[in-house]
Structures are given as structure tokens and as C-alpha cells.
Amino acid sequence: MSDRFALTGARIFDGDDWHEGHALVVRDGLVEAILPTGAIPSDIRVVDTGGGLLAPGFVDLQVNGGGGVMLNDHPDVASIETICRAHAPFGTTALLPTLITDTPAITAAAVAAGEAAARQKVPGFLGLHLEGPHLSVARKGAHDPVLIRPMTDADQAMLIAARQKLPLLLTTIAPESVEPARVAVLAKAGIIVSLGHSDTGYAAASAFAAAGASMITHLFNAMSQIGNREPGLAGAAIDIGTLSAGLIADGIHVDPATIKIALRAKQGPARIVLVTDAMATIGTEMTSFTLNGRTIYRRDGSLRLADGTLAGADLDMISAVRFIHRVVGVELSEALRMASLYPAQAIGQSHRLGRFANGTAADIVALSDDLDTKGVWIGGEKVFAAGSDTVR
């Protein structure tokens, strides 16, 4: 029997436009239609969401952990499930669990876990993001410099084999550690290549974009900055229209004024997209945790190593949306697109994620007028309700 229902009582943002006095109709885990409330068929279940707004679920391309778990520490299916479940209350319905630079054995375990998570259809699991180990030590950030190394033929083969096992694979690399020819091979194999943790200049970044790199990892962080004689990787991210750029919008990683400048200057069609770069702390009260044997401290809204180096972010996606809307001044519909449609476009998934249209995934976030999360659906199944003690 078909599972069919209509969500009513809220403004609906479909990824492009707003709909007042309409219902979002879901059938068997997919969006069927957006209809005037007076046109809802009499034989389907109606759910009144009690005001606020409905929007496409958020898509996060960089999630290191959540629910007290880091993928690096426990690269298994249970951790992926925990991470996905931890981010659902904050509106994230699809994410890439992210492995920070680690050993080949840990990387292999993470890929195996991702393959199993895809096979088991873990709600919210989209694929994997391998951030490193082929980075620049000069821009290592919180990555362990001992584990950073150039890409070899074996590494390239491993990535291609991993992509064949996973729904999606994104990898962050630095031009200092990978040749453009390898990027072309990876891109041809369907791997999304992002440039990051790099001191490279504009010309090299442009050559890598021409070879097939299509993203930039956490814009302005762990990269060469814009200068008067050298635009750097940050400048390339903004000026090259084929590069999408992840942005950690917490007011700590990037100043609001800098974000405004970047948004005004960004060349398309690729966009700046919101990412959380979240760590194990999300959904918990923990004050510290470890990464590659080093303690990371949670203080004043940030996560840092003992020497003060930023180590990921203590950020969830709805908080990023609120920040980009209220502090940076981005119009609400655009802020929502930055968290849903634009990241879906960056990974070639906008045909099913980031918008409401016939046949797209019924990944839905219900928000109050104050932009608090009221409810979340993944594939038409409600996985979070405000006031509930459990997240399915």
C-alpha cells in the first residue's frame, strides 16, 4: 500500500520560490507535488505542521563527526549512523562523513564502512569525503603533518576503487601533493576533487580546475589568501566560475565582512555553499575529544588544539543558516539554498536533493519563524520532532 501524506500549515520553499496556502504532498519517500490546500485529495493523510516554513533538507559536504563520535576514531557503520543521526535535529538530511588525514589502514576501514552504510541505506548517508592525506604541510591546519604525503599510483588506484563502491566520493587534495594529470583521472572516474589545505597560487589552482577539480574546501581557511600581486587559492575560489566553495559560517573561521565580499564577488555558475566542518561535539555536552592522539578543546563556540589552532567547527547547519541570514544579511531563500540546493549542485545531485519537485527525495526540514528546527523527514520518514527525546 502506498505511503502518501500531505504536510500543511506552513509556508513552503521549494528551492526556488515560496508557496503560501499550499501543501507538500509526499508519496513513497518522494515529493509528489505542491498543491493548493483546497486541492488535496480526500483519501490521503494530512499533517498540520503548525506554522513556520518547510524547506528542502540541508546537504552537508564536510562532517567529521557528531554525537560524540569521530569517523577517524571509529571508522565503522555504527559511527556513520551516529553521525547522521546527530545532525538530523539540525536539519541535515544528507551528509558526507569526512575522514581527516589518517593512515592507509584507517582510510580503508572508512571506505569499507561507507560501502556497508550505503548497502544498509543508513538514513542521511550520502557518501564519503576523504580530506587528505595529500595536502600541504604548510597549510596543514589540525591535520597531523606526519601523515601528510604525496599521492602515489597506489593511492590513485585506491580512490578509484573506492568510488566504485560508494554512492559519492569527494576528496580534498593540495596541488603541492598531487599532479594535475591525476586529478583528470580521478574526475573522469567520477570522484569530486576539491582543492584545500594548500599554499598554491592562482595559476596552479586554475590549471587544476581545468584538469577537473570542481570544489574548494572551507574557503579562506588553511589556504593562500588574496594578495595584491597573487590572488592565491582564496582568490581562485572566488574568481573561477567552475569552482564551488565550502564556507564555515560561524563568525570564527571567516569574518562576516569577508563573507559579504566573497558572496558579492563569486563568479558562477558554481556557488559558495555552507558546510559545518563539524566534529564529535555536535549533539553533545562534551568539552574535549581527541583526533590522531591530540586533544581538541571546546571553548567559546570554537574547537582548538592546545596551541590555539582551529580544529574543525562546533557548528550545526541550522546555526550556519541563521548566521548567514541574520549576521551576514543574506536573504532567507538564498541562505536556505546555500545549505541545500547549492551543495547538491556541487556534487551533481540537484536532480534529487535541495529542491521540492515531482520525484525528488522527500528530505524535508520544518522550521519555526525564528528558524528553530521543528521536524525533519528523510525519504518521507520523520526522523526528528522537536520536544522528542529520540531521533530515529
Q: Which residues are catalytic, by number?
A: 277
Cβ–Cβ < 8 Å for 292, 147:
yes
Tell me the β-bridge partners of 53: 11, 367
Q: Kindly tell me the sign of the dihedral angle through the C-alpha atoms of 308, 314, 317, 321.
A: negative
Assess whether the previous peptide bond of 133 is cis (omega < 30° from 0): yes
Q: Return the residue matching grid coordinates 565503522.
A: 76
End-to-end CA distance of the chain: 23
Which of 381, 345, 342, 388 lies closest to 364, judged by CA? 381
Alpha carbon distances (Å) from 99 to 46, 57, 61, 132, 160: 41, 23, 12, 8, 17
Radius of gyration of the chain (CA): 20
In our burial notation (b when 16+ CB lie closer than 10 A, e otherwise), range 32-70 reads bbbbeeeebeeebeebebeebbbbbbbbbbbbbbbbbbb
Tell me the three cell numbers of residue 223: 589556504
